[in-house]
Amino acid sequence: MKRKRLIFVLLALALGAVIALAGFEAFLRLGARGYMRLVRTPPLTFQDAKALKVLCVGDSFTFGIGADGPESYPDRVQVKLARAHAPRSVEVINWGLPAQNSSEALLALRSFSQSGNILPDFVLVAIGVNDYWNHHLAAALAGENDAAALDRALFGIRSYRFLKIALARGPVRAGKFYAQPDAADADDKRLLAANERWSAAISKALAVNLSAIIKTIREGGSTPLLIEYPEGGATVSAAYEKAIRETGVSFISTAGYGVAAQKRVAYRSEDGWHPNALGYDFVATRVFKKLISFQPPDNQ
């Protein structure tokens, strides 16, 4: 009798755990769907095949966090190109998604290029800073091993993704050091070692993803341009440099907003990292000049 009761209790606990996990998975999926609808900027396809078409891919830096209203760098590029190319139509799509990492950007671009929709003339890419915490280093989708492929497959389960990120204390703490270390962190030898180890791994995976992103864009018949973060950090910069060497992709430098360190605060939003309207306009001006060098207006 006691044995049957124990089995019954264990089965009930197992069933309860499955129900709880299913409920948690449903909650995460509903939340993710609502988030995507909130931040994805329509339209997601180009409307005019004869227009000058630019697709901007990235994270919150592309989305425009830190500035109010239509002041993201894609918004400002749209205005500048429309003035320069009038009366030709110009379409700039902001496909920035806050918190997106390089793996997710690569998958999104592959989906876009295979969609059968009108493809862009140019694809601007600024991605990588979120790889430090949203870091499923299944990351390197190109040339991934079996373990990475399994990790990527499981990453489709929101609960798995949540637990992996929540429990990965090493890279998260290293990411904290990378972003804004405090005095205790700066003296923590184990944290310094973790930062160095994870920085190398993340930079390597990001470089592979960037090269795969550039290849995907080119295979779709578009011209890729890689945009530097004004203050992206050494880990991202190293990955960019490697991808540029390997692919020869055109690069748009925005390092430090082109000013001395003590003057950069004027270009930052209140969060201390994202650009403000002035910062985004600086980036947009650099992007505009590069695009004009590729495709000057008829009146030039």
In angstroms, rounded to a whole number, what is the distance separating the alpha carbons of residues 185 and 180? 9
The answer to whether residue 100 sits within a structural domain is yes
Q: Which residues, in sequence order, are CB contacts of 206 under 8 Å at separation 6+?
A: 102, 128, 131, 139, 235, 236, 239
- CATH number of the structural domain spanning residue 69: 3.40.50.1110
Whether residue 10 is found in the same domain as residue 116:
no
Whether residue 127 is found in the same domain as residue 8:
no
Whether residue 228 is found in the same domain as residue 272:
yes
Q: What pLDDT does residue 145 have?
A: 59
Measured distance between the N- and C-terminal CA atoms of the chain, rounded to whole angstroms: 91
Whether residue 135 is found in the same domain as residue 214:
yes
The answer to whether residue 1 sits within a structural domain is yes
Whether residue 21 is found in the same domain as residue 53:
no
Q: What pLDDT does residue 13 have?
A: 82
The C-alpha torsion from 172 through 245 and 97 to 181, rounded to 10°, is: 30
Encoded tokens for 128:
């990588």
Whether residue 138 is found in the same domain as residue 13:
no
pTM listed for this prediction: 0.78
| Amino acid making up residue 96 | G
Whether residue 16 is found in the same domain as residue 158:
no
Query: In the sheet that 223-227 helps form, which strands lie side by side, from edge to edge?
Result: 90-96, 52-58, 122-126, 223-227, 250-252
Whether residue 140 is found in the same domain as residue 57:
yes
Mean pLDDT, the chain cut into blocks of 10 residues (300 residues total): 73 82 78 60 76 95 88 96 94 91 88 85 95 60 59 70 62 48 66 74 87 94 96 90 96 95 94 93 97 77
Whether residue 48 is found in the same domain as residue 8:
no
In angstroms, rounded to a whole number, what is the distance separating the alpha carbons of residues 22 and 15? 10
The answer to whether residue 271 sits within a structural domain is yes
Contact status, residue 283 vs residue 253, Cβ threshold 8 Å: no
The answer to whether residue 299 sits within a structural domain is no
Whether residue 254 is found in the same domain as residue 190:
yes
Q: What pLDDT does residue 142 have?
A: 47
Whether residue 159 is found in the same domain as residue 263:
yes
The answer to whether residue 300 sits within a structural domain is no
Whether residue 131 is found in the same domain as residue 275:
yes
In angstroms, rounded to a whole number, what is the distance separating the alpha carbons of residues 193 and 174? 9
Q: What pLDDT does residue 170 have?
A: 47
The answer to whether residue 5 sits within a structural domain is yes
The answer to whether residue 267 sits within a structural domain is yes
As for how many domains the chain has, the answer is 2
The answer to whether residue 234 sits within a structural domain is yes
Chain position carrying tokens 């748009």: 252
- Nearest CA to 283 among 58, 38, 3? 58
Residue 113 structural domain: 42-294
